[in-house]
Amino acid sequence: MKLTDKDLVQIRENGLTVEQVKHQSDIIKKGISYTNLVEAATVGNGIIRLSTKEQNHFVEVYEDHLNNLSIVKFVPASGAATRMFKVLFQFLKNFDPENDTINAYINKHKNSGLAIFFAGLEKLPFFEEVVHKLHEYISNFNDLSYDEKRLEFIKTMLSEDRLNYSAYPKGLLPFHRYEQHVATAFEEHLFEASLYAASKELANVHFTISPNHNKRFDDEFKFIEEDVEEQTKTKFNVSFSNQKILTDTITLTLRDELYRDPNGKLLFRASGHGALLENLNALDYDIIFIKNIDNVTVSKHHEELAKYKKVLAGVLVETQNKTFEFLRAIDEGHADNETCVEIVEFLTKTFNQKISHQYSSLSTINKIALLKNRLNRPIRVGGIVKNEKEPGGGPFWVKDKSGDITLQIVEFAQIDLKDNTQKEIVKNATHFNPTDFVCGIKNYKGEVFDLKNFVDNDTYFVTVKSRFDEEIKVLERPGLWNGSMAHWNSIFIEVPLITFNPVKTVNDLLKAPHQYR
């Protein structure tokens, strides 16, 4: 790997060392290390289905402890809205209004997405704003043909010199239209937080955002703060952080050479949501709710969503209390063989841990040391929904390189789907993870764990992206709720589909959970 003096300066400015860059380069050359699936997690085999009575119990547990806990809602929100409008950009690029009609274009390209978009146009949360702007930009808009009006509607949404929605951060795009106003996903997260993440009428909400959107989010909060606080009777401590530049990773050409931009500079690229582990690691709270920015609903579903958040939090609180009880006994020298038996049962039943057959041959001292290591970890309780063929990860039993079998969230990109055995396991999967977690990141002494100590660094991603019409190899760090939490103690609880309402395309905003009426 040949580096110039300018390269060395650039590497230092990124907070990296030459050794780290070389290591990243070697990983990219090696390619992705596929996860070895053993079987899909199912209800009764890694996934817990709670009865109504059990759900109510855990809600009560959480509410009983609520005012004695520091709580934050952590929302990854750095994504731009660009990909939401992919179908529309393709339409603008390929449609020839001189020689084609929109209906003919839809039929010719079998473009059901575009057909759905036009059919639901008036239900879009920003419909009225776009129409208002249309009349500003085009004085004779009412005289245009039906097709011309629809074409100009999309242009007004997306053109840089008009509304330019695709440049918005997804969290600040109009998401839900109510009778009196239009709400963003950012606003909906605040309303949600007041229902399950507020303690003593204060809700802490932390958003990870792109640096170029800092002012936009600040301005939006100032604009809505008074109204939201008045409606929820809750004060909000809203904070923001950016993905740290030191988490960016080097890029290579397809020939495995260092990629350089037209100015000859190395290209360091944001390394996926796994980079947000640094942001999560900077927090100091007893309970952390994690939920993606685009996974929201209109207000009529908020109470139901809050219930299941409280269920997950109650499971975490009760599990933490038992875990801390065992750890105190160990540290105070009160753990004996009988305690060890209880801990093994707890680890097996609660965290789905598999204890090696060699454990029985260990001395009591070594047994206690092993069990303490297994107990003394961050804990996550994940909401798992039935598989609706959404893209993304799911819960699977996984065998690592040492032969240990653990329960993990695995992204499809980590799976070798050319392997028929692995493909069959994926085919039989029944559940999906909607990035819905409640986390405990402190030990029983109230000390925050260093979360970097619990990452499986082999679960990185290597993908190919386009840059200036050239394909390049990029490296993404182990996903935040995948490899970055691989060595956490995990519990997966089945929750209803209403808790999972992501907006990946503009048409998702037409679905029932995003419609007020």
Model confidence at 265, in pLDDT bands (50, 70, 90)? very high
User: Are 444 and 324 within 8 A, CB to CB?
Assistant: yes
251 Cβ contact partners less than 8 Å away, ≥ 6 residues apart: 28, 258, 259, 266, 267, 268, 269, 467, 472, 473, 474, 475
Q: Is the pLDDT of residue 9 over 90?
A: yes
Q: Is the full-model pTM beyond 0.85?
A: yes
Q: Is the pLDDT of residue 393 over 80?
A: no
Mean pLDDT of 157-164: 96
Q: How many Cα atoms are found within 13 Å in the side-chain-facing hemisphere of 284?
A: 3
Q: Is the pLDDT of residue 303 over 80?
A: yes
The residue with greater pLDDT, 390 or 86, is 86
95 Cβ contact partners less than 8 Å away, ≥ 6 residues apart: 102, 105, 151
Which pLDDT does position 435 carry in this prediction? 84
Q: Is the pLDDT of residue 388 over 80?
A: no
Mean pLDDT of 123-150: 96
**Where on the phi/psi map is residue 48: left (φ > 0), alpha (ψ -120 to 50), or beta?**
beta
Mean pLDDT of 279-286: 98
CA–CA distance, 460 with 484 (Å, rounded to integer): 9
Select 5-81+169-318+392-514's CATH number: 3.40.50.800, 3.40.50.2300, 1.10.10.60, 3.90.550.10.
Answer: 3.90.550.10
User: Are 507 and 410 within 8 A, CB to CB?
Assistant: no
Q: How far is CA 111 from CA 115, 124, 234, 396, in A?
A: 7, 19, 45, 34
Model confidence at 433, in pLDDT bands (50, 70, 90)? confident
Mean pLDDT of 348-355: 95
∠ Cα 145 146 151 (to 5°): 95
Helix (H, G, I), strand (E, B) or coil at 11: helix
If you average pLDDT over every residue of the chain, what do you get?
A: 95
Model confidence at 392, in pLDDT bands (50, 70, 90)? low
Mean pLDDT of 37-42: 96
CA–CA distance, 255 with 7 (Å, rounded to integer): 19
Q: How far is CA 329 from CA 210, 336, 371, 374, 494, in A?
A: 45, 9, 12, 15, 32
226 Cβ contact partners less than 8 Å away, ≥ 6 residues apart: none
Alpha helices (H) in 168-247, listed in sequence order: 185-196, 214-232
User: Are 297 and 188 within 8 A, CB to CB?
Assistant: yes
State which H helix or E strand residue 350 sits in. Answer: helix 337-350
C-alpha closest to that of 416 among 37, 38, 29 = 37
One-letter amino acid at 104 equals A
Helix (H, G, I), strand (E, B) or coil at 30: helix
Tokens 């011309």 -> residue: 148
Length of the chain: 517
DSSP structural state of residue 173? S
CA–CA distance, 173 with 130 (Å, rounded to integer): 13
CA–CA distance, 351 with 489 (Å, rounded to integer): 6
Joined together, the tokens standing for residue 204 give: 């802490």
CA–CA distance, 45 with 203 (Å, rounded to integer): 35
- What would the pLDDT profile of 222-237 be if each residue is shown by its tens digit? 999 999 999 999 999 9
Joined together, the tokens standing for residue 149 give: 């009006």
Question: Lowest mean pLDDT: which of 129-133, 386-390, 484-488?
Answer: 386-390
CA–CA distance, 337 with 339 (Å, rounded to integer): 5
Q: Is the pLDDT of residue 425 over 70?
A: yes
CA–CA distance, 52 with 311 (Å, rounded to integer): 10
Model confidence at 390, in pLDDT bands (50, 70, 90)? low
State which H helix or E strand residue 369 sits in. Answer: helix 364-375
CA–CA distance, 158 with 160 (Å, rounded to integer): 6
Model confidence at 468, in pLDDT bands (50, 70, 90)? confident
Which pLDDT does position 317 carry in this prediction? 98
Q: Is the pLDDT of residue 89 over 80?
A: yes
DSSP structural state of residue 81? S
Domain with CATH 3.90.550.10 in the chain: 5-81+169-318+392-514
Q: Percentages helix, strand, coil for the chain, rounded to the nearest 5? A: 45, 20, 30
CA–CA distance, 236 with 288 (Å, rounded to integer): 15
Tokens 């839809």 -> residue: 106
Other CB atoms within 10 Å distance of the CB of residue 404: 11
Tokens 């007004």 -> residue: 156
CA–CA distance, 157 with 151 (Å, rounded to integer): 10
Instruction: Report strand pairing: 235-241 vs 461-467.
Output: unpaired
User: Are 484 and 267 within 8 A, CB to CB?
Assistant: no
Q: Is the pLDDT of residue 503 over 80?
A: yes
Q: Is the pLDDT of residue 324 over 80?
A: yes
Q: Is the pLDDT of residue 71 over 70?
A: yes
CA–CA distance, 400 with 101 (Å, rounded to integer): 55
Beta bridge partners of 250: 268
Joined together, the tokens standing for residue 114 give: 């575009």
DSSP string over 297-349: --GGGHHHHHHHHHHHHHHHHHHHHHHHHHHHHHHTT---HHHHHHHHHHHHH
Which pLDDT does position 361 carry in this prediction? 93
Joined together, the tokens standing for residue 62 give: 């959480």
CA–CA distance, 454 with 440 (Å, rounded to integer): 13
Model confidence at 41, in pLDDT bands (50, 70, 90)? very high
CA–CA distance, 260 with 257 (Å, rounded to integer): 9
